[in-house]
Amino acid sequence: MQSPLTFPALHASHAGIWMATPDGQVRTVGKGDAVGRAAETPMVMLNAPLVAQRLGYAELSGLDVLELFAFVHPARFVVPTAKGLANVLGITPRQQPVTVINSSVTLNSFQGLSPSTLETKTLKQVQGDGSGNGDGDGGGNGTEDGDGNGDGGGVNRNAGVWNDEEVPHLLLSATEKLLATLADPVWPEREGAWDSAQALMRVRWPWANIVLRHLAKPEKPERWLFARLPEWEETAPRTPPRVVTLNPDAVQAQLASLVGNGAETRQGQRDFAQAAARIFAPRARKGEPNMVLAEAGTGIGKTLGYLAPASLWARNADGAVWISTFTKALQRQLVREARRIYPDPESFKQKVVVRKGRENYLCLLNLEDALQGGFAGRAATLAHLVARWAAYSSDGDMIGGDLPGWLPTLFRRNGSTALTDRRGECIYAGCPHYKKCFIERAARASVQADIVIANHALMMVNAARGRDEVSRPTRIIFDEGHHLFDAADSMFAAALTGQETVEMRRWVIGPEGKARGRRRGLAARLADVASYDEEGGLAIEMARIAAEALPGDGWLGRVAEGVPSGPVERLLHAIRTMVFARDESNLAESGYGLETELADPPPAVVDAVADTQVALEALARPLTLLGTRLEAMIADPPDWLDGGARARVEGAMASLGWRIDTVRAWISMLARAVGPVDADFVDWLAIDRFEGRDMDIGMHRHWLDPMKPVAEIVLKPSHGVLATSATLRSGGDWPNAEARTGAVHLDHPAEHFSATSPFDYAAQAEVLIVTDIKRGDMAALAGAYAALIGASGGGALGLFTAIRRLRSTYARIADRLARDGLPLYAQHIDPIDTGTLVDIFRDDPHASLLGTDALRDGVDVPGASLRLVVMEQVPWPRPDILHRARRLSYGGTDYDDRIIRAKLAQAFGRLIRSAGDKGHFVLLSSAVPSRLLTAFPAGTSIRRVTLEQAVAAIKSGLSPVTNIRQDDANTLQEGNPI
């Protein structure tokens, strides 16, 4: 059944291009030769879109080993690099670097290349030895990644340091091993593989025929996805939690048990746990929650510090504690830490639930539609691989769950978003897969859970839309609390734009013209309601007619060309004209987004506003009437309204209420355009642009203080709230923390707690302010990054405030660093999602990562992989209209300084994550005001230096891992002069 692999392998990096033939010959090739050969012969490669980018040939296709891995091991984690793949599959490199002579070399010394001699292991069986190699804090942890890195350095060479010229042969070896797995009788993901491969062959997946030659046909039919998934069950509503008071000794005992292994808890952690416990005390009055603001420095151990009282209260009171985060990285950390509370897997599954927004989960109805012809070409292949993943997924979470983040990016035209419910079109109990729905399963599991891990946006969405009223959380912990203001600012904003109105039209009408897919318009979702209730059916039809006044497909072109169709498009055209006319930023020609204040609008805008108001009122009236009819149906249900139909109608009511609120917000914004100013809001007009092209046009409204609605709908209904962060005061004082967490709007004052980090920053870190890089000199900026990364031997995180400067720097230095054995990755450039970029960066202590300023919040990389942070300039706030309004209200220059200090503190916080971490924080700015330097922890050394002095300082503080890398780089440079 098996046959030898007859395809060559191709690997391209910034250092060069290598090709291996099946007989083991490896040689370097040029771009033209590589592209020509790839066009003639299918080649095995790793991450085809990335290889295509390296070759400058966007249409490159081939046999991507990552796609094969996703088929063989669905829902398993792998870092999508040569090292990551080798670690998972148990393939190790030669102990000595390979020398390329006369552009070719035969590699015969790989360990474990024959599938017949390689034992197929699961991910958890392939582990590093955890020994490290040198002077780290005790070597590595022997994690599943197999990296074996110690906290302070030390590289496990056997974990796999792969030279570029070794990679093509590794890809062939990995392919052979993955194909050999298909014949393994104990392969755990066998069920469904045959049918999946057959389906993939029909959509012309390049691997399909090869897979089917190695895969035996099952003797009896296997369960397919929709038969394999378990059904959730309805449970009785949970009773309200009991009133309990936590004993301080019990809290400390619970903390000690979680820390475990005889380890002593630190005083700061014990104090923090006791402060967190105060939110579980019975509240004195309705609307006055027990709120604690706790700033706990990095290293305090605040996760276990609040999990101790939270788990104790949940057990004693039989209630749920919701823990909300801002980043997926912290969510994953919380899941790991919660296993200490519930070590039994089955108990953990029942007691701990991760909740995310609907748009994060796979929609089984959308997937079925895609599998039955809704997707074509490469998108169809993605749908089948996602279906294979779904059969083995723990929770169906497509964003941050166990779906590999790199999988959708392999398919260039990313179709994964169409597999989730992003438009609120769920038909609930009307769906044939309702009882197996991942979203419904998570929602029901959270009702009975003790610990519910969510995110700030979901907490606010559920509260604002009135969902889960019965199970509304009464005890809430906001970790990463310094992000509450930003999350609220996004959640409670309104935008009357072309894109938003197009989505509204699609929600009401459904697909139009030649649009593919199942009809999901309002009439289709509520067909039985329309047939039963004449007035409700008439409201649906009136809403459909009114929605035709909203922009449709092609609106952006019509508006730009001056031929708008309908009242809303005429408004967008008038807004576009007004914004371009009043722009004083000189950014129109450079392609950046434009905005202007909504003040003294010209007659064309005033007239268009009036017409749009009439059109939106015509839509709001039937939607409101329909909502009333649905409420009446629930109150006096007909005979056919069984439990499933009732759930569908209630779901439709919730979705309808959201749309009505949106349309009413639009009408309110239009009234403001020609009426008096509302002091609580900031309104403006904007054109969103990308590389000179208009992407969206419209009106925007934000709360001046978005914590006002948060206080009313999230904080006041709660009994206890903890907001915590290492930078909760955000570069200011406690009044600033109260303002940015909403505590200032409570009648009962919040308690304050602070604990400084236990880290010795004077010994572990140094801040270098480089003063001789002229602002605007792109060549000097790129040269500085290259010198600093080279001095550190990689392990650098570069943060930029502008994508243009990031791209320019990357283009100038990526090849140079790669030739020194220092790979460079970049957000907004590499065709890889941000989460995977961070995984790659974390896995390779010699790699560096460039990203925008916001990337600082998504990077949690303790150990040697991150030992240098470089910011290209002081992160001054962008002086847009919203910022100007808040600056005027909240203190002028002091408000700016608080924002800057918070960003600097958060960026610095990426550097030192454990007691063994050491590194440098470099700020490339000739004039950093001294008042901003209080952003850094007390005791941290801060020096103003030249670039040459900064490079020398970084070299003098080299960790063992960097010294090792420099030796390797020297050897590589001597043997491979490419």
With beta carbons less than 8 A apart as the criterion, state whether 105 and 96 touch: no
Together in a domain, 686 and 540: yes
Per the structure block, which two tokens stand in for 553? Answer: 């497909």
Together in a domain, 60 and 195: yes
Facing residues of 27 across strands?
19, 104
Say how many domains are in the chain.
Answer: 4
> What is the amino acid identity at position 419?
L
Distance in angstroms (rounded) separating the CA atoms of residues 935 and 920: 15
Together in a domain, 210 and 95: yes
pLDDT over 50 at 141, yes or no: no
What CA–CA distances, in Å, run from 442 to 313, 367, 435, 470? 22, 18, 12, 16
Buried b (16+ CB within 10 A) or exposed e, 777-804: eeeebbbbbbbbbbbbbbbbbbbbbebe
- DSSP-assigned letter for residue 156: -
Total Cβ atoms within 10 A of residue 318: 14
Together in a domain, 81 and 56: yes
**What is the DSSP secondary-structure string of 353-390?**
EE---GGGBB-HHHHHHIIIIIS-THHHHHHHHHHHHH
- In the block, tokens 């995310």 appear at 356
Task: Give the pLDDT of residue 304.
Answer: 95
Together in a domain, 809 and 934: yes
Task: Give the pLDDT of residue 482.
Answer: 93
> Percentage of residues in the chain with pLDDT exceeding 90?
65
Distance in angstroms (rounded) separating the CA atoms of residues 309 and 682: 41
**Minimum mean pLDDT among 74-88, 271-285, 503-517, 740-754: which range?**
503-517
Task: Give the pLDDT of residue 406.
Answer: 93
Together in a domain, 751 and 885: no
| Three-state secondary structure call for residue 724 | strand
- Give residue 284's domain range: 227-311+718-758
Together in a domain, 672 and 578: yes
| Three-state secondary structure call for residue 753 | strand
Task: Give the pLDDT of residue 623.
Answer: 96
With beta carbons less than 8 A apart as the criterion, state whether 784 and 770 touch: yes
**Given pLDDT bands bounded at 50, 70 and 90, which one contains residue 615?**
very high
With beta carbons less than 8 A apart as the criterion, state whether 64 and 45 touch: yes
Task: Give the pLDDT of residue 655.
Answer: 82
Instruction: Confirm whether 545 is domain-assigned.
Output: yes
pLDDT over 90 at 517, yes or no: no
pLDDT over 80 at 126, yes or no: no
Instruction: Confirm whether 185 is domain-assigned.
Output: yes
Together in a domain, 846 and 902: yes
Task: Give the pLDDT of residue 675.
Answer: 80
Total Cβ atoms within 10 A of residue 235: 10
Instruction: Confirm whether 158 is domain-assigned.
Output: no
**Minimum mean pLDDT among 63-67, 312-316, 413-417, 446-450: which range?**
413-417
Query: H-helix or E-strand containing 28?
Result: strand 25-28
Together in a domain, 61 and 18: yes
Where would I find the H helices in 820-910? 834-843, 881-890, 893-908
Distance in angstroms (rounded) separating the CA atoms of residues 576 and 926: 39
Among 185, 293, 398, 295, which residue's Cα sits nearest to residue 937? 295
Task: Give the pLDDT of residue 467.
Answer: 57
Task: Give the pLDDT of residue 921.
Answer: 97
Q: How far from the centroid of its chain's Cα atoms is residue 537's Cα?
A: 41
Task: Give the pLDDT of residue 586.
Answer: 65
The per-residue pLDDT for range 738-794, each reduced to its tens digit, is 999 999 999 999 999 999 999 999 999 999 999 999 988 999 999 999 999 999 999
Distance in angstroms (rounded) separating the CA atoms of residues 91 and 485: 47
- 243 vs 519, higher pLDDT: 243
- Which of the listed ranges 579-588, 734-743, 913-922 does the model predict with the highest average pLDDT? 734-743
Task: Give the pLDDT of residue 142.
Answer: 31
Together in a domain, 240 and 265: yes
pLDDT over 60 at 62, yes or no: yes
**Given pLDDT bands bounded at 50, 70 and 90, which one contains residue 692?**
confident
The per-residue pLDDT for range 157-201, each reduced to its tens digit, is 334 568 888 999 899 999 999 999 999 999 999 999 999 999 999
Instruction: Confirm whether 777 is domain-assigned.
Output: yes
Task: Give the pLDDT of residue 469.
Answer: 59
pLDDT over 60 at 515, yes or no: no
Task: Give the pLDDT of residue 407.
Answer: 94
pLDDT over 50 at 130, yes or no: no
Q: How far from the centroid of its chain's Cα atoms is residue 100's Cα?
A: 40
Together in a domain, 552 and 624: yes
Buried b (16+ CB within 10 A) or exposed e, 628-661: ebbeebeeeeeeebeeebebbbebbbebbbbbbe
Instruction: Confirm whether 556 is domain-assigned.
Output: yes
pLDDT over 70 at 804, yes or no: yes
Facing residues of 683 across strands?
701
Together in a domain, 627 and 583: yes
> Percentage of residues in the chain with pLDDT exceeding 70?
87
**Given pLDDT bands bounded at 50, 70 and 90, which one contains residue 588?**
low
Task: Give the pLDDT of residue 426.
Answer: 80
For the CA atoms of 836, 839, 845, 849, what is the dihedral angle to 10 degrees?
Answer: 40
Instruction: Confirm whether 399 is domain-assigned.
Output: no
Distance in angstroms (rounded) separating the CA atoms of residues 821 and 428: 53
Task: Give the pLDDT of residue 94.
Answer: 58
Task: Give the pLDDT of residue 965.
Answer: 34
Q: How far from the centroid of its chain's Cα atoms is residue 413's Cα?
A: 18
The per-residue pLDDT for range 857-911, each reduced to its tens digit, is 767 888 889 999 999 999 999 889 999 999 999 989 999 999 999 999 999 999 9
pLDDT over 70 at 596, yes or no: yes
The per-residue pLDDT for range 354-390, each reduced to its tens digit, is 999 888 999 999 999 999 888 888 999 999 999 999 9
Mention every residue, 6+ apart, whose C-beta is less than 8 A from residue 119: 90
CATH number at residue 912: 3.40.50.300
With beta carbons less than 8 A apart as the criterion, state whether 924 and 770 touch: yes
**Given pLDDT bands bounded at 50, 70 and 90, which one contains residue 730?**
confident
Instruction: Confirm whether 647 is domain-assigned.
Output: no
Cα end-to-end span (Å), the chain: 42
pLDDT over 60 at 97, yes or no: no
Mean pLDDT for all residues in the chain? 85
pLDDT over 70 at 589, yes or no: no
Side-chain half-sphere CA neighbours of 609 within 13 A: 21
With beta carbons less than 8 A apart as the criterion, state whether 471 and 444 touch: no
The per-residue pLDDT for range 17-50, each reduced to its tens digit, is 999 988 778 899 999 999 998 888 899 999 999 9
| Three-state secondary structure call for residue 638 | coil
Mention every residue, 6+ apart, whose C-beta is less than 8 A from residue 26: 18, 19, 20, 98, 100, 104, 105, 106, 107, 165, 166, 168, 169
pLDDT over 70 at 124, yes or no: no
Instruction: Confirm whether 367 is domain-assigned.
Output: no
Distance in angstroms (rounded) separating the CA atoms of residues 782 and 484: 35
Distance in angstroms (rounded) separating the CA atoms of residues 172 and 8: 8
The per-residue pLDDT for range 432-491, each reduced to its tens digit, is 898 999 999 998 899 899 999 999 999 998 888 765 555 689 999 999 999 999 999 999
